[in-house]
C-alpha cells in the first residue's frame, strides 16, 4: 500500500488534474492539485509533499523551469509528464533535477509503478557492513547512514534519484557499475532512453561532488564498464 503519501499534481489541464486526482486517491494516496506554476508555489509555501507530479508544457512558467526553481530549496521527488517523443523536454527536465519522466499518453498502472519506485528510492539502503559511515570526497563528505551530502557545515541537497545513486555507489565503492545495472537498481525499465537518463543524473551528481565535473576524480567513468565511486 501507499501508506498515505501526499502528492501534488501540477497541470493546467483541468480534466487531467481531476482524473489523476481521483485515480490516485482511489489507490491510497493523499492528493492536492495546482493549476499552474504560480498556484503550485503558493501551495508549496505552506505544505510539504512526498512527491510532485508535474506537466512540462504549461502556460507561463513551464515544468522544467519550476523544477529548477524547486531544486534550489527542496529535494522533493519530481515526476515530469512529457509529450510522447519529446526527448529534448525529458533531458531538460532531468538536467533541471527531475527524478523521472513519463510520456503521455500513459497506462495508469505504469504511473503507479513509477510512483512506487521513486518513493522507494530515498529510504532504500543496500546492506554492506564494510561501508564506512562517512565517505570523504575531497571537500565534500557523504553521510551513508543519513544519506546526506555535506560541504563543510553546509548541506548539499540531493534529489531522491541522486540520493539513491549515492547509496548504490557507496555500497559498491571502487567497483564499476554499468549503466544497465544502475537502471535496474534504480527500479526503472530498461532501454537506451533510461541509460541516457542515468548519464544525465550522473552529470548532475558530479556537479555537486567534483571540483571539476569535466575531469571527475571521485565519480569516475570506467571505459567499457560504466561508472565507479573512487574513494581517497
Do 143 and 51 lie in one domain? The reply is: no
Do 110 and 183 lie in one domain? The reply is: no
Do 100 and 140 lie in one domain? The reply is: no
Read out DSSP for 86-131?
-HHHHHHHHHHT-SEEEEES--HHHHHHHHHHHHHHTT-----TTS
Q: Which residue has the higher pLDDT, 217 or 186?
A: 217
Q: What number is the average pLDDT over the span 206-231?
A: 90
Do 114 and 149 lie in one domain? The reply is: no
Label residue 130 by pLDDT band (50, 70, 90).
very low
Do 189 and 111 lie in one domain? The reply is: no
Do 99 and 38 lie in one domain? The reply is: yes
Residue-range definition of the domain harbouring residue 217 = 134-229
Do 112 and 175 lie in one domain? The reply is: no
Q: Which is nearest to 114 in space by CA: 47, 53, 202?
A: 53
Residue in the block written with cell 515544468: 63
Where does residue 85 rank: exposed (0-12), middle (13-18), buried (19+ CB within 10 A)? Answer: exposed
Query: Does residue 129 lie within any of the structural domains?
Result: no
| pLDDT value of position 126 | 40
Where does residue 15 rank: exposed (0-12), middle (13-18), buried (19+ CB within 10 A)? Answer: exposed
Query: Does residue 21 lie within any of the structural domains?
Result: yes
- 80-129 pLDDT, tens per residue? 998 866 778 788 889 999 999 998 889 999 999 999 999 987 544 344 43
| Residue where a domain stops, chosen among 99, 121, 143 | 121
Instruction: Please tell me the pTM assigned to this model.
Output: 0.60
Query: Does residue 17 lie within any of the structural domains?
Result: yes
Q: Which is nearest to 4 in space by CA: 49, 58, 68, 54?
A: 49
| Residue where a domain stops, chosen among 64, 91, 121 | 121
At 70, which CATH number? Answer: 3.40.50.2300
Phi-psi domain of 128 (left: phi exceeds 0; alpha: psi -120 through 50; beta: other) = beta
Query: Does residue 173 lie within any of the structural domains?
Result: yes
Query: Does residue 200 lie within any of the structural domains?
Result: yes
Do 144 and 223 lie in one domain? The reply is: yes
Query: Does residue 126 lie within any of the structural domains?
Result: no
Do 65 and 18 lie in one domain? The reply is: yes
> What is the number of structural domains in the chain?
2
Do 150 and 222 lie in one domain? The reply is: yes
Query: Does residue 213 lie within any of the structural domains?
Result: yes
| Residue where a domain stops, chosen among 80, 99, 121 | 121
Do 138 and 94 lie in one domain? The reply is: no
Query: CA torsion angle for 218, 224, 226, 228 (degrees, to 10)?
Result: -30
- 151-204 pLDDT, tens per residue? 998 999 998 889 889 988 887 766 788 988 898 888 776 677 888 889 999 999
Do 14 and 106 lie in one domain? The reply is: yes
At 176, which CATH number? Answer: 1.10.10.10
Average pLDDT, the chain: 86
Amino acid at each position: 500500500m501507499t501508506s498515505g503519501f501526499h502528492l501534488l499534481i501540477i497541470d493546467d489541464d483541468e480534466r487531467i488534474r481531476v482524473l489523476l486526482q481521483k485515480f490516485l486517491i482511489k489507490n491510497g494516496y493523499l492528493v492536492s492539485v495546482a493549476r499552474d506554476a504560480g498556484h503550485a508555489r503558493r501551495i508549496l509555501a505552506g505544505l510539504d509533499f512526498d512527491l510532485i507530479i508535474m506537466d512540462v508544457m504549461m502556460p507561463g512558467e513551464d515544468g522544467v523551469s519550476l523544477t529548477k526553481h524547486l531544486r534550489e530549496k527542496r529535494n522533493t521527488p519530481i515526476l515530469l509528464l512529457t509529450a510522447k517523443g519529446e526527448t529534448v523536454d525529458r533531458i531538460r527536465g532531468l538536467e533541471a533535477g527531475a527524478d523521472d519522466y513519463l510520456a503521455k499518453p500513459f497506462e495508469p498502472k505504469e504511473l503507479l509503478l513509477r510512483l512506487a519506485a521513486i518513493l522507494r528510492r530515498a529510504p532504500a539502503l543496500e546492506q554492506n557492513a564494510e561501508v564506512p559511515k562517512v565517505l570523504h570526497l575531497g571537500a565534500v563528505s557523504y553521510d551513508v547512514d543519513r544519506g546526506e551530502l555535506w560541504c563543510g557545515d553546509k548541506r548539499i541537497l540531493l534529489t531522491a534519484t541522486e540520493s539513491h545513486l549515492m547509496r548504490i555507489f557507496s555500497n559498491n565503492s571502487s567497483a564499476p557499475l554499468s549503466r544497465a545495472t544502475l537502471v535496474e537498481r534504480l527500479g526503472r525499465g530498461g532501454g537506451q532512453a533510461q541509460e541516457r537518463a542515468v548519464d544525465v543524473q550522473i552529470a548532475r551528481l558530479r556537479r555537486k561532488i567534483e571540483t571539476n565535473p569535466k575531469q571527475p576524480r571521485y565519480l569516475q567513468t570506467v571505459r567499457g564498464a560504466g561508472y565507479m565511486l573512487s574513494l581517497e
